[in-house]
């Protein structure tokens, strides 16, 4: 995300092709958050940003250490703060004011997160800030995307220390390159080893240790291609071919791969990083055709403003559409506002501060004017500086007052009620399981042999529902229609947890019922849940799969599509299309548009009931 033209000492030649690569990355991230179909893996744009940042920052460090045999950490860190923080401060300030007026839920989440953003630890804040599941529902924090800036800030803080440590050693460049490469592969290995699809992937996705390899790969390129001698040995045409093929591969991954697929955690992010390295390697060549293509004016314009676009796009999307899939005209407004605010940020905040306007103003104020013109410039500078300081003080005071006194609001107003409901449902499920375990084996071998009515069918069926917090909210309603069945539902449950739950019921609790209901899919990707659980159940038992209604979740559409296809292609598998049944029924949901009202609970169970009766009526011979 960070754009760096000025380096230590003499300015090196600017690599214009990187602007286009940065533009492509921010476009794909933006498109991903807009839920556009061509950017399923658009979050890989962040990986591209990491590689670019690692490359550019290492070039700066390399030039300084070559000139002075050390790194002036104070100056380096001041430049990084000057580049990152002012634009963030302006964005957060605007966000606090606007959300305080128009969206108190987003205001509450912004107030909770803004310090972690400013101090550069937002990624770890998101990992370790274990808030209640129900407090975290609905639209995410509008500062969630700042996790990547935190990783970059931590990289800028720590990586220069490696240069200082090896600065005076023999063959320092080679040693730094080797250490960088080793650290990169360690980081990749940590991502692979720590990823578990049965658990929340936040630790792996947001962790500095599991994501820094992208920055390190970029740094490694800067170290081995810094003087261009080795890279010149590669023919220009071959380099262009490598770059074009790598860029094509990147675009394919961004378009086709789901942003949360297990493949990305098990090598995919590393592949994307290496492809980015190869694209940069290609455009380093002055004669690169790919570099000229990536330097066209529209891409350069977007690349110049990519940092501002990245900062502003996500809060704007959440404020306008809540992050849900929107109509084309809302998308157009979100794009237009993002371009406007990022252009203003670039023109009036980022560029002047990056070019040292504050230092220049201080120097003019402290100078001793010798002419009337110099004195006039000094007076004007003092007046402008006083106005700027006054504006900052007033704005800062207003922000503090907003945070301190404006009432907070959560996505759910009945959190305590939902948490009590979860405890109650857990007790009921335990009692039901104990009752079934107490039944004599084989005593009710074919209790449904003489069933005549729909009510009798439902009363006698022994189904096992494995669900998340949505199903949990309908527990009472479920038992009213399926008194002989079991509903095992819990908050924040992932799809792959269903394997262990099913196995425990069959092998530990002796469950031998009539079918399984899969009521997961709102908290994460399906991964291989459906096929694995279908195999565990066996072909003789019906398998019911409920589609997800989770408008703020990026995986809602892909999960539902997979469910539709799996139900259509798999024998003895039945679709419970809650997504379709709930379409246009806002009365079914509480404030977060995902969890159920009392009316929604009835409709949810009615949806299950209809699918179950349809399945069991097809085998009437078992009942009549």
Alpha helix stretches (DSSP H) within 200-235:
202-206, 208-211, 213-224, 229-232
The partner residues of 486 in beta bridges, in order of sequence, read 464
The pLDDT value recorded for residue 169 is 84
Encoding tokens for residue 484?
Answer: 């002989």
Exposed, middle or buried, 199 (CB in 10 Å: 0-12/13-18/19+)? middle
Q: What is the mean pLDDT of the chain?
A: 88
The pLDDT value recorded for residue 493 is 86
Annotated active-site residue in 145, 313, 460, 595? 595
Per the CB < 8 A criterion, the answer to whether 623 and 449 are in contact is yes
Give the pLDDT band of residue 609 (cuts 50, 70, 90).
very high
Q: Which residue has the tokens 């390129």?
A: 221
Distance from CA of residue 277 to its chain's centroid?
A: 23
Mean pLDDT of all residues in 464-491: 91
Q: 564 phi and psi, to 5 degrees?
A: -60, -50
CB contact set of 583 (below 8 Å; sequence gap of 6+):
none
CB contact set of 582 (below 8 Å; sequence gap of 6+):
549, 588, 589, 600, 603, 604
CA–CA separation, 477 vs 472, rounded Å?
A: 10
The pLDDT value recorded for residue 135 is 58
The pLDDT value recorded for residue 131 is 54
User: What percent of the chain is modeled with pLDDT above 70?
Assistant: 89
The pLDDT value recorded for residue 188 is 97
Cβ density class 346-379: b for 16+ within 10 Å, e for less: beebbeebbeeeeeebeebeeeeeeeeeeeeebe
Phi-psi region of 527 (alpha: psi -120 to 50; beta: other; left: phi over 0): left
Give the pLDDT band of residue 4 (cuts 50, 70, 90).
very low
CA–CA separation, 77 vs 152, rounded Å?
A: 12
The pLDDT value recorded for residue 129 is 78
Dihedral of alpha carbons 414, 416, 422, 427, sign: negative
pLDDT (tens digit per residue) in 242-267: 999 999 999 999 999 887 788 999 99
- Choice between 464 and 374, residue whose per-residue pLDDT is larger: 464
The SS3 call for residue 308 is helix
Measure the CA angle with vertex 20, ends 15 and 23; round to 5°. 130
The pLDDT value recorded for residue 436 is 65
Q: Which residue has the tokens 């179950």?
A: 612
Dihedral of alpha carbons 556, 557, 560, 565, sign: negative
* 123, pLDDT greater than 70: yes
Dihedral of alpha carbons 82, 25, 271, 60, sign: negative
Measure the CA angle with vertex 40, ends 36 and 44; round to 5°. 115
**CB neighbours of residue 136 within 10 Å:** 17
The SS3 call for residue 596 is strand
Annotated active-site residue in 19, 113, 468, 592? 592
pLDDT (tens digit per residue) in 341-354: 999 999 999 999 98
The pLDDT value recorded for residue 168 is 83
Strands 486-489 and 515-519: unpaired
Mean pLDDT of all residues in 112-139: 82
Phi-psi region of 41 (alpha: psi -120 to 50; beta: other; left: phi over 0): alpha
* 418, pLDDT greater than 50: yes
Element (H, E) at 11: none
Q: Which residue has the tokens 């305080």?
A: 100
CA–CA separation, 276 vs 47, rounded Å?
A: 9
Q: 108 phi and psi, to 5 degrees?
A: -60, -45
Instruction: List C-alpha distances in Å: 401 to 97, 115, 394, 406, 407.
Output: 11, 15, 11, 8, 11
- Superfamily of domain 415-622 in the CATH hierarchy: SGNH hydrolase (3.40.50.1110)
The SS3 call for residue 28 is helix
Distance from CA of residue 254 to its chain's centroid?
A: 14
Strands 463-467 and 486-489: parallel
The pLDDT value recorded for residue 62 is 93
**CB neighbours of residue 507 within 10 Å:** 9
The pLDDT value recorded for residue 132 is 56
The pLDDT value recorded for residue 52 is 97
CA–CA separation, 91 vs 300, rounded Å?
A: 23
Encoding tokens for residue 617?
Answer: 């009526």
Give the pLDDT band of residue 424 (cuts 50, 70, 90).
confident
Annotated active-site residue in 282, 469, 498, 554? 469
End-to-end Cα spacing for the chain: 67
Give the pLDDT band of residue 439 (cuts 50, 70, 90).
low
Per the CB < 8 A criterion, the answer to whether 524 and 260 are in contact is yes
Encoding tokens for residue 283?
Answer: 């455009």
Is 592 part of the annotated catalytic residue set? yes
Element (H, E) at 545: strand 543-546
Mean pLDDT of all residues in 154-164: 95
Mean pLDDT of all residues in 440-458: 61
Of the given ranges (307-321, 455-469, 576-590, 597-611), which has the lowest mean pLDDT? 455-469
Query: Of 318, 364, 309, which Cα lies nearest the Cα of 341?
Result: 309
Mean pLDDT of all residues in 576-582: 96
Domain residue limits, the chain: 17-88+147-311+322-355, 415-622
CB contact set of 552 (below 8 Å; sequence gap of 6+):
137, 138, 139, 140, 322, 323, 324, 592, 593, 594
Of the given ranges (313-322, 335-344, 370-379), which has the lowest mean pLDDT? 370-379
């Amino acid at each position: 995300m960070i754009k760096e033209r000025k380096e230590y000492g003499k300015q090196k030649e600017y690599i214009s092709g990187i602007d286009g690569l940065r533009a492509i990355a921010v476009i794909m991230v933006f498109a991903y958050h807009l839920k556009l179909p061509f950017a399923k893996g658009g979050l890989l744009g962040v990986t591209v940003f990491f590689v670019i940042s690692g490359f550019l920052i290492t070039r700066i460090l390399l030039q300084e250490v070559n000139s002075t045999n050390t790194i002036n950490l104070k100056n380096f860190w001041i430049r990084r703060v000057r580049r990152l923080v002012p634009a963030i401060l302006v964005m957060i300030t605007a966000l606090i004011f606007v959300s305080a007026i128009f969206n108190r839920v987003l205001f509450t989440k912004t107030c909770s997160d803004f310090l972690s953003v400013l101090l550069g630890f937002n990624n770890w804040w998101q990992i370790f800030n274990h808030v209640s599941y129900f407090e975290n529902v609905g639209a995410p924090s509008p500062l969630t995307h700042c996790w990547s800036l935190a990783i970059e800030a931590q990289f800028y803080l720590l990586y220069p220390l490696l240069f200082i440590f090896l600065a005076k050693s023999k063959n320092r460049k080679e040693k730094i390159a080797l250490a960088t490469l080793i650290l990169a592969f360690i980081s990749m290995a940590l991502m692979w080893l720590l990823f578990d699809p049965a658990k929340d992937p936040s630790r792996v996705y947001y962790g500095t240790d599991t994501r820094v390899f992208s920055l390190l790969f970029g740094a490694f390129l800067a170290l081995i291609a810094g003087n261009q001698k080795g890279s010149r040995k590669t023919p220009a045409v071959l380099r262009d071919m490598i770059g074009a093929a790598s860029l094509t591969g990147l675009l394919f991954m961004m378009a086709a791969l789901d942003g949360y697929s297990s493949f990305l955690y098990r090598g995919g992010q590393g592949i994307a990083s290496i492809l980015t390295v190869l694209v940069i390697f290609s455009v380093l060549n002055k004669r690169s055709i790919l570099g000229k293509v990536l330097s066209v004016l529209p891409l350069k314009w977007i690349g110049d403003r990519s940092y501002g676009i990245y900062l502003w796009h996500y809060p704007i999307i959440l404020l306008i559409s809540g992050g849900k899939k929107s109509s084309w005209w809302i998308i157009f407004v979100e794009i237009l506002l993002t371009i406007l605010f990022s252009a203003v940020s670039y023109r009036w905040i980022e560029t002047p501060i990056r070019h040292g306007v504050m230092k220049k103003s201080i120097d003019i104020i402290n100078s001793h004017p010798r002419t009337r013109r110099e004195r006039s410039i000094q007076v004007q500078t003092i007046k402008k500086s006083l106005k700027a300081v006054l504006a900052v003080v007033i704005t800062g005071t207003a922000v503090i007052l907003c945070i301190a006194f404006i009432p907070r609001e959560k996505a759910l107003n009945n959190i305590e009620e939902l948490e009590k409901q979860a405890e109650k449902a857990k007790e009921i499920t335990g009692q039901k399981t104990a009752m079934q375990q107490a039944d004599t084996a084989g005593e009710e071998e074919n209790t449904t042999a003489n069933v005549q009515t729909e009510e009798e069918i439902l009363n006698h069926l022994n189904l096992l529902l494995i669900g998340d917090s949505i199903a949990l909210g309908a527990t009472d309603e479920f038992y009213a229609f399926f008194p002989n069945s079991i509903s095992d539902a819990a908050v924040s449950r992932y799809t792959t947890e269903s394997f262990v739950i099913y196995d425990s019921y069959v092998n530990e609790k002796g469950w031998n019922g009539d079918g399984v209901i899969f009521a997961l899919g709102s908290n994460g990707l399906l991964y291989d849940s459906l096929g694995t659980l279908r195999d565990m159940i066996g072909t003789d038992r019906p398998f019911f799969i409920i589609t997800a209604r989770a408008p703020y979740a990026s995986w809602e559409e892909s999960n539902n599509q997979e469910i539709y296809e799996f139900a259509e292609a798999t024998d003895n598998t039945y679709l419970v299309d809650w997504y379709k049944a709930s379409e246009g029924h806002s009365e079914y949901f509480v404030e977060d548009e995902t969890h159920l009202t009392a009316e929604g609970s009835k409709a949810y169970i009615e949806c299950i009931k209809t699918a179950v009766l349809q399945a069991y009526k097809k085998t009437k011979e078992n009942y009549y």
